[in-house]
Structure 1
Amino acid sequence: MLVTRAPAKINLTLHILGRRADGYHELESLVAFSGAGDTLSLIPGPALSLDISGPTATAAGAGGDNLVLRAARQLAERIDGLALGAFRLVKRLPVAAGIGGGSSDAAAALRLLARANNIDADDPRLFDAARVTGADVPVCLSGRARVMRGAGETLGPVLRLPLLPAVLINPGVPVETRPVFQRLGLQPGERVAAERLPAIGSGAPSVELLALLAKGRNDLEDAACLQAPVIVDVLSVLRAAKGCKLARMSGSGATCFAIFSTTAAAAKAARAIRMQHPEWWVKTAALR
């Protein structure tokens, strides 16, 4: 059995630059990953199957449209004789939450299939299968911090970020991505006059990185708050927590994150928030 993690993807920044003629929104986003998330295993074999368990398994959907199966089928279309097998997914991340849970699961499936078939991690067929499966799947392939651009298909170099102690909160309200983008009201071919993402170098110290992140934003935040007003409450709680240096929504919501001064401060804040809001999904994380 081959096993790998499928960590949460966190958009530290998410700038919308416009909408392309093909209808896709053009974005620029600094992405980091948590140290934990879902777990995916594979028993190689001739047939393709998927079994899902875990706290959020019901919401994930076990049908043929699950991104794990879609990614596997896309890779099989590109590689003759690809050995497939039985996938087992332990689902812990919330679904439709803006942290790329399904995309990370799909990327994990591609990594496991590459290992099972002795395919190099840099094989372009892996990236092509990821790109066709979903916009966030390519950046999740390596699970390393980097800038993603376009509709997710253009990736910058892997960045070495300082460890960022964080608290992640999802209020239990699923947020569909498409309506959030629709609220922006951009027409195909329309550009947005907005500041670009500041240049972020690998190895920047925490103080410098936080200063750069503070100049960034998530351009989907206002639209998502209109769709799910509880996001406003989540951000308010995070920003009021002692030791919080930056709080922002990830992706199209509703998950929000806060970066803290220390791991201890993040853990203390998470405990207090869980007591105050036991219905929320609250996790500490080490973003990198």
Structure 2
Amino acid sequence: MTTVEVFAPAKINLSLHVTGRRADGYHLLDSLVAFADTGDRLQITPGADLSLTVSGMFAEGVPQDARNLVWRAAEGAGWRGQIALEKSLPHGAGIGGGSSDAGALLNALAGQGVVFPHSLALSLGADVPVCMTASAARMQGIGEEISPVALPRLPALLVNPGVEVPTAAVFSALTSRDNAAMPVEVPLFDGVADCAGWLSAQRNDLEPAAIKVAPQIDRALSDLRRSRDALMARMSGSGSTCFALYPSMKAAHFAAYEIGAEHPDWWCVATELH
């Protein structure tokens, strides 16, 4: 038996426009997505039975059965074996932790010749298809329309104020579900400042609703926006993780030190998005 190790990067919604709602209840999105150099790790080993063990900083509370997207991805692909998941990303945090884990597993299984339906990824969740790409993309529809996007490497600080935000509660708190999409074309950016300037004119339509559910998000955004050299700041996904972009990794690390010192119980990670 061969053990394969795979990386599941954090997914960051640089923008997230809610543009409508289908008759079946699914929301239509228009989102620019990037991926971080920080994330979870999985080890998978083929075997007679399916099992999942979870370790790492954020292992507590993560299900180790069919409630876990990784388990459901393996089961949907008809694969059996041992999965060891190391959780370095907070859960319920708007950075696609579970979706990225499932996407990384499906990529690993495909690399080993396991054949599964193309529809499996989307059936697991709207973020799973884009997480399988693990590279910058525009995600539209309910997550099934994915277009690659060229982004510069973006020095960033990810901050989570230590609160889980249920996605359903945030969507329930939305006051408008029919908002403008992003511009038709995402431009080619001349560096991080150019990209941050364009992003500043975009939105995360879930941000006000998420702040109602978890007011701590507002404090995280305020601290990021006040940090030295921050170019822009926004919440990712349905929260509660927020991010800011900086002109350099040195500036991102300095902001991580300052905010981390003020809030030692927060998750603060300087990383590059791409």
Shorter-chain TM-score category?
over 0.9
TM-score, normalised by the number of residues in structure 2? 0.94
CA distance in 2, matches of 1:11, 1:39: 21
Q: Answer whether contact 1:84 1:113 (CA < 8 A) is retained.
A: no
Q: Runs of 5+ in structure 1 lacking a partner?
A: 77-82, 120-124
Q: Counterpart of 1:278?
A: 264
Which of 158, 163, 179 is equivalent to 1:173?
Answer: 163
Shift of 1:128: 1.4
Q: Counterpart of 2:12?
A: 10
- Relative to structure 1, the CA distance from residue 28 to residue 47 in structure 2 (aligned partners, 3 Å threshold; closer, same or farther) is same
Q: Answer whether contact 2:229 2:246 (CA < 8 A) is retained.
A: yes
- Relative to structure 1, the CA distance from residue 195 to residue 102 in structure 2 (aligned partners, 3 Å threshold; closer, same or farther) is closer
Which of 107, 111, 126 is equivalent to 1:135?
Answer: 126
Alignment of 1:232 onto 2:222: no
Deviations 1:110-151 (A, max 9, x none): 1121122365xxxxx454111111111000002011000111
Deviations 1:214-267 (A, max 9, x none): 110100000000000011100000000011001000000010000011110000
Q: Runs of 5+ in structure 2 lacking a partner?
A: none
Moved more, 40-49 or 202-211: 202-211
Shift of 1:109: 1.1
Alignment of 1:151 onto 2:142: yes
Shift of 1:161: 1.1
Shift of 1:210: 1.9
CA distance in 1, matches of 2:163, 2:55: 20
Q: Counterpart of 2:90?
A: 94
Give 1:32's aligned amino acid.
Answer: A
How many residues are aligned here? 272
Q: Counterpart of 1:122?
A: none
1:59-208 → structure 2 map (5 Å cutoff): 59-76=61-78, 83-117=79-113, 125=116, 127-156=118-147, 158-185=148-175, 192-197=178-183, 199-201=185-187, 204-208=190-194
Give 2:143's aligned amino acid.
Answer: G
Q: Answer whether contact 2:30 2:181 (CA < 8 A) is retained.
A: no
Superposed CA RMSD in Å reads: 1.6
Give 2:141's aligned amino acid.
Answer: G
TM-score, normalised by the number of residues in structure 1? 0.90
Shift of 1:198: 5.4
Shift of 1:202: 5.2
CA distance in 2, matches of 1:74, 1:67: 10
The structure in which a higher percent of residues are helix is 1
Q: Answer whether contact 1:38 1:91 (CA < 8 A) is retained.
A: yes
CA distance in 2, matches of 1:102, 1:179: 18
Q: Counterpart of 1:55?
A: 57
Shift of 1:204: 4.9
Q: Give the secondary-structure state (helix, strand or coil) at the position aligned to 1:149.
A: strand
Q: Give the secondary-structure state (helix, strand or coil) at the position aligned to 2:61.
A: helix
Q: Answer whether contact 2:192 2:246 (CA < 8 A) is retained.
A: no
